[in-house]
Amino acid sequence: MVQHSRKASRRTGDQFAHPAKGDVYMRRGGLCVLDAAGFAQPGHEAANLTVAGIAQETTDNRNGADGAVSVPVVRGKDLHFIGNDSTDPVTREHLNKPCYIVDDETVSSSHKGNARSSAGMARDLTGSGVWVEFI
């Protein structure tokens, strides 16, 4: 029970800012991931990454230490459009199943022997990309 009056804080649940890993450059619109220590970096092929969202600004931390700057990202219940890997593409049979991070603009249908982290659920598909729900 609240013992004293206090300001009730509120914000939308789809916009966040994460401290950037040192020596990284993230482009606006790119898939942003968190490493095991919680630092943001561009999406890339690796195990044990967590999707943070889509970078809302270009963020340059190439000359900074871990956490020197933050990258604003958006995620939430909306679907996000990401390119489809040409060598291991998401197809209609993969819809409503996990898809996997290849890089900061591409997803794949395969985890490649657990070398790729999950991007989320592939919800729809066009000729130029995949609509992904981050989970």
pLDDT in tens, 39-86: 999 999 999 999 999 999 999 999 999 999 999 999 988 899 999 999
Give the pLDDT score at 7: 77
Phi–psi pair at 131, nearest 5 degrees? -90, 115
Domain boundaries, the chain: 15-74, 80-133
Q: What is the pTM of this model?
A: 0.89
Give the pLDDT of residue 63.
97
Residue type at position 59: T
Stated length of the chain: 135
Q: What are the contacts of 33-36 at 24+ separation with CB within 8 A?
A: 33/101, 33/117
**pLDDT beyond 80 at 12:** no
R_g over Cα of the chain: 16
Q: What residues does 25 pair with on adjacent strands?
A: 60
Query: pLDDT per residue over 71-125, tens digit each?
Result: 999 998 889 999 999 999 999 999 999 999 999 999 999 999 999 999 999 999 9
Query: pLDDT at residue 2 above 70?
Result: no
